[in-house]
Amino acid sequence: MRGVQDTARPLRYVIAGFALSAVLCPTLVYGWLGLPRLELAGSAVANLVGQWLAALLFCRALLAERARVLGEAVALLRDMLNPDDLVVGGQAFTEYPEGMNLVEAAYAERSVLPARDIRVTAFGNRVQEAGAGVVSLGGLYSDPIGAMRRAQSRRPEASA
């Protein structure tokens, strides 16, 4: 975030983590609000929880930024190629479905062509395997008779 001159958001995330730690620390150290009195261990737990909160906020912002960049990249490719259908695949789309709304919003904002729906591949996180299968079958599809001849020429002769 500092790389794009956004210095306020990281500061807010760190302050949120420190604030949670500041509230939890005396609560866990002295056992307030019916929580167990953990003494020194309570301070460690409070700091750990505060750091986790800051890390989660950073991760959420990072994933949102990645979704925005992916949406803009899809829009750019769509504007250059103008395909009939727009299907995206890969773990960036299939493993984080919550980010698709952000991808679609960035795509709609960036594209200069009329609106078109984005669909995520039905292969899920196995899209690379499906793509490799398509590429490996390309020769068979383009020249089936030649592929059969090549396969016959490689087959060892059966000895009688």
3-class secondary structure, 37: coil
User: What pLDDT, on the 0 to 100 scale, is given for residue 68?
Assistant: 92
What is the residue type of 124?
A: G
Packing angle between helix 127-142 and helix 144-154, nearest 10 degrees? 90
Alpha helices in the chain (DSSP H): 8-30, 40-81, 91-94, 100-110, 127-142, 144-154
User: What pLDDT, on the 0 to 100 scale, is given for residue 4?
Assistant: 60
Task: List the beta bridge partners of residue 88.
Answer: 120
Distance CA(100)–CA(70), nearest Å, equals: 10
pLDDT in tens, the chain (160 residues): 555 678 899 999 999 999 999 999 999 999 999 988 999 999 999 999 999 999 999 999 999 999 999 999 999 999 999 888 888 887 788 788 888 999 999 999 999 999 888 888 878 778 888 888 888 888 888 888 988 888 888 877 655 5
- Contact status, residue 58 vs residue 16, Cβ threshold 8 Å: no
